[in-house]
A and B are shown apart, each in its own frame.
Chain A
Amino acid sequence: MSKALVSYLLSLADNTLILGHRNSEWCGHGPILEQDIAITNMALDCIGQARNFYQYTAQLMGNHTTEDSLAYLRDVTEFTNCLLVELPNGDWAQTVLRHFLFSTFQYYVYQQLQNSSDPQLAAIAEKGFKEITYHVRWSSEWVIRLGDGTEESKDRILQALDTVWGYTGELFQPADFDLQAQQEGWGADLLLVKRNWDEKIKAVFEEATIPMPATTWMHAGGKQGKHTEHLGFILAEMQFLQRAYPNSEW
């Protein structure tokens, strides 16, 4: 069980780290000050959750593994985040839409993980669930505001939807560790997550007057370490210091 648990935790950690990193790119660039602060607060929540997952993983792995070695010293193919979180931010519409699609997914995953048979995983999920609740609320309000806003904002959100929708299927395609997680009772049931997610997305899109996209071909591979070119650039920026100056501390 321990090996699958480690893979499962790493995937949760990578998702939150990479999304946190992407959202933090808005720091100092938000459309208005309050929203700059909002998106960077959410980046901080994501990175905080990533730290919890990495710390727990490091503890299970032992052998001098630390949260830092997991974040800074693994290469692209060892990261198992889904492709959606590594996509570039695009414009504000694309950023908020991606955050809505992903945090709604996280919301239902954490909701189930609170009852995980693994107590530490349950504790991290319980903590993160409260934070993600605010993310879903904030991002869904933005999707509605832009979708049901002006001609320009509507146009932007529809373009964003075209760009990111094809990356949502992967969230629900179980990797081996997902299947084992569910079988052994410490992970989330992705079919149930998908049902809840569909319902929430549909309701918000309806209010935002955004048509539900037709079923389409979906990108995948992130959970198996096959990434888009974008992840390499994120890691180059994020890992540079530790690679160039090993063990340097702040």
Chain B
Amino acid sequence: MDSINLPVTLSELSDPLHIKVREILATVSDPEIPVLSIIDLGIIRDISISQENESNGSEITLQITPTYTGCPAIDTIKISIRMALLEAGFKKINIIEVLSPAWTTDWITEKGRENLKAYGIAPPQYQQSVCSPDSFQKEEAIQCPLCNSYHTRLVSQFASTACKALYQCNDCKEPFDYFKCH
């Protein structure tokens, strides 16, 4: 531990302190979709840890990116991150909001997608269906998270939160949310 102020990035998993921070962040969830951790949501863009001397402890700097510009969850998420890290004994915490590159649903992890589906929200398709402004486009075939049928229809591109669209299954008739591509 004699390396001073060495930045550690998200991909460098070998450092035990970094793994610990990541594990703590994995316990923080999106307040509107509690089955999705912020790691699985893909909004943590960078974790850097400056390892100072033992009495001062480590300084953690996180880069976080919002899903939608108007999403009110981001403020709650920032507070939750701070609380979780404080509870684990980290005192110096910087949270920086970055906008570019813009968040995309492609950054939601496989585990996140599975959790969404189990929770009753259809997970986003990968990028091929990224939205263009053309009207009355051919609808994507979205799988019903309840009965697995692809025989579904779009009810509205906008739903209970900014990140979702509203669908209905033509077979089991249940309405469901789709985490729309972004």
Contact = CB atoms under 8 A, between A and B. Distances in A.
The secondary structure that dominates the A interface is helix
Given A48-B70, A49-B69, A127-B69, A38 B99 contact: no
Nearest to A34: B156
A49 B70 contact: yes
Interface residues of B, number: 27
B166 interface: yes
Interface in A101-156: 104, 107, 119-120, 122-124, 126-128, 130-131, 133-134, 136-138, 140-141, 144
Interface string B140-182: 0000000000000001111110100010000000000000001
A73 interface: no
B69 A45 contact: yes
A37 B135 CA distance: 19
A127 B157 CA distance: 18
B101 A126 contact: yes
Contacts of A122: 100
Interface residues of A, number: 37
Contact of A134 (B71, B102, B155, B157): B157
A83 to B, nearest CB: 24
The secondary structure that dominates the B interface is loop
Given A34-B166, A37-B156, A48-B71, A144 B133 contact: no
B134 A137 contact: yes
9 contacts: A34-B158, A37-B156, A37-B159, A41-B159, A44-B162, A49-B70, A123-B102, A128-B69, A140-B135
A35 interface: yes
Which residue, B68, B135, B155, B166, has most C-beta atoms of chain A within 10 A? Answer: B135
A52 interface: yes
Contact of B100 (A49, A51, A127, A141): A127
A137 B137 CA distance: 9
A136 B68 contact: no
Contact of A133 (B68, B132, B155, B160): B132
A123 B100 CA distance: 5
Interface in A149-208: 200, 204, 207
Nearest to A126: B102
Given A38-B157, A137-B134, A140-B133, A45 B99 contact: no
Contacts of A18: none
B21 to A, nearest CB: 25
